Structure 1
Amino acid sequence: AKEMWIDLIGRAGFYPYYIEKVCQEEQLTLSLQDQIKTEFFKSDYLPNIYFHQQQKEIEIALSNGNNIAVSAPTSFGKSLLIEEIVARKQFCNILIIQPTLALIDETRKKLSKYKGDYNLIINTRQIVLEKNIFILTAERVLEFPNLPNIDFFVIDEFYKICNRLNDSRIDSLNVALLRVMKHNTQAMF
């Protein structure tokens, strides 16, 4: 019964859970086909991380240089996709727009492991270096003096702004979006 359950998890595309269950079952061996599928869903840049099917589709689209809009629940793993982009070290200037200071701090903590590769910027008084990750609110993007061209940007937790009628931050977000997108920046919303 366990083997059948594990097989169903794999067929549904839930590879992070599939790998976890397979690793728990010492006597279970993967077929060559399952090994190939599993390897396909493995992150190329984050150790021991496997994407589920929808995450992998988004990761492929981003790898191909596409802009993408993702509407998904909090548990979907969009932050993991952001970390995958950062871990690639492909972009010089990454902008992550967050709606709240608490989310800025959470993102800063999560991405602090990349300080050796990127300068993390969370306010307008910090010095811009060659490779930067800007983690800002839309208002701070507009206040930032001499914001360099952004290579990749993310509007994270967008729904927290959009769900509030008459939220003046919508205007700031739209202006920030126009400012960044005029340079043909790749984006994930």
Structure 2
Amino acid sequence: MAISFNWLKEDKSFLYSMKKMSLNIPLDTSEMEYSLSCAVVFLEEYCKDKRKNLYFEIAYFIVLKSAINNDEYEPLLDVSSNFGLYPISNYIIKNNLYTSSLSSEFSLSYQLSKFEYNSIIETYEQRKSRVELVNSDDEENCYIAPTSFGKSSLITEIIRERKLNKVAIIVPTKSLLMQTYKLVKNKFSRNNIIFHDEMYDGSDEFIAIFTQERALRLLKNESVSFDLLIIDEAHNLFNNDSRSLLLTRETAIKSPI
């Protein structure tokens, strides 16, 4: 049975504590205990129904502010480690911001080590999504994630794992083209990497980083095809402008992966 928390809107103690936390004012002991108790209740309700994101967000706000304002990091460590926010857990451990037994620290450090990738600690969702996409056998995949979620490094991992001969990465702007080129060149320095259609020399093995226009010019050559097509910022397919139409034409010619 779902629990209603409407009564909290009339709870002066809770509202006053939330106001102090919002203003980065430390709570006293009783306020801290009450706020953290509320956070526990919110998390329990969220665990019953993961669609209730607001409960988790409020609980996370409370434990985060408890850490920042009151220097109490144990609640934040508990939440981050139990809900897959491992970069937060790793930061707390590395900076010795909490006190615990050696056995529990070893156990948590071991758990975090399993989520280390390319010298960073991933969240549970990051790792899960990355592994699923890289190992997917589907011909078409879509990866939706916020900024700094590792999309760029994922591109290079897909290229490395798929081991296909003709790969094209489509980027929306020339500035992003050079940024992506440097990333790919750093990871695949021995490969034939091109970033303009005029650089194509008839090779059967290449990694192309193109804008929509350059890719379409190359595809006018009927002998050219891509084994793997990666479209960065593919959500632009749905914009009602000329560049979106170019992307749509391109995906109609070669299905994206």
TM-score bracket for this pair, using the shorter chain length:
0.7 to 0.9
**1:118 & 1:89 partners in 2: Cα distance?**
14
After the TM superposition, which parts of structure 1 deviate over 6 Å for at least 4 consecutive aligned residues? none
Q: Is the 8 A contact 1:55 1:81 kept in 2?
A: no
Point out the structure with the larger helix share.
Answer: 2
Q: Is the 8 A contact 1:61 1:68 kept in 2?
A: no
Q: Deviations along 1:113-135, whole A, 9 cap, x unmatched?
A: 12334222110122364543211
Counterparts in 2 of 1:7 and 1:133: CA distance versus 1, 3 Å? farther
Residue identity opposite 2:116 in structure 1: K
Q: Is the 8 A contact 2:73 2:92 kept in 1?
A: no
Give unmatched runs, 5+ long, in structure 1. none
Q: Is the 8 A contact 1:124 1:143 kept in 2?
A: yes
**2:82 & 2:164 partners in 1: Cα distance?**
34
Aligned equivalent of 1:154: 230
Larger-gyration structure (1/2)? 2
**1:90 & 1:32 partners in 2: Cα distance?**
37
Q: Is the 8 A contact 2:171 2:212 kept in 1?
A: yes
Q: Is the 8 A contact 1:117 1:131 kept in 2?
A: no
Aligned equivalent of 1:119: 192
Identity %: 25
Counterparts in 2 of 1:6 and 1:92: CA distance versus 1, 3 Å? farther
Aligned equivalent of 1:91: 164
Q: CA deviation at 1:21?
A: 3.2
Q: TM-score, normalised by structure 2?
A: 0.57
**Which residues in structure 2 correspond to 1:64-75 (within 5 Å)?**
64-66=136-138, 67-75=140-148
Aligned equivalent of 1:171: 245
**2:169 & 2:92 partners in 1: Cα distance?**
34
Q: Deviations along 1:83-128, whole A, 9 cap, x unmatched?
A: 3324547333322111111111111122221233422211012236
Residue identity opposite 1:173 in structure 2: L
Q: Does 1:42 align with 2:116?
A: yes
Q: Is the 8 A contact 1:58 1:68 kept in 2?
A: no
**2:160 & 2:96 partners in 1: Cα distance?**
31
Q: Greater relative contact order: 1 or 2 (C-alpha under 8 angstroms, separation 6 or more)? A: 1
**1:135 & 1:17 partners in 2: Cα distance?**
34
Q: TM-score, normalised by structure 1?
A: 0.75
**2:142 & 2:106 partners in 1: Cα distance?**
35
RMSD: 2.9
Q: CA deviation at 1:161?
A: 5.4
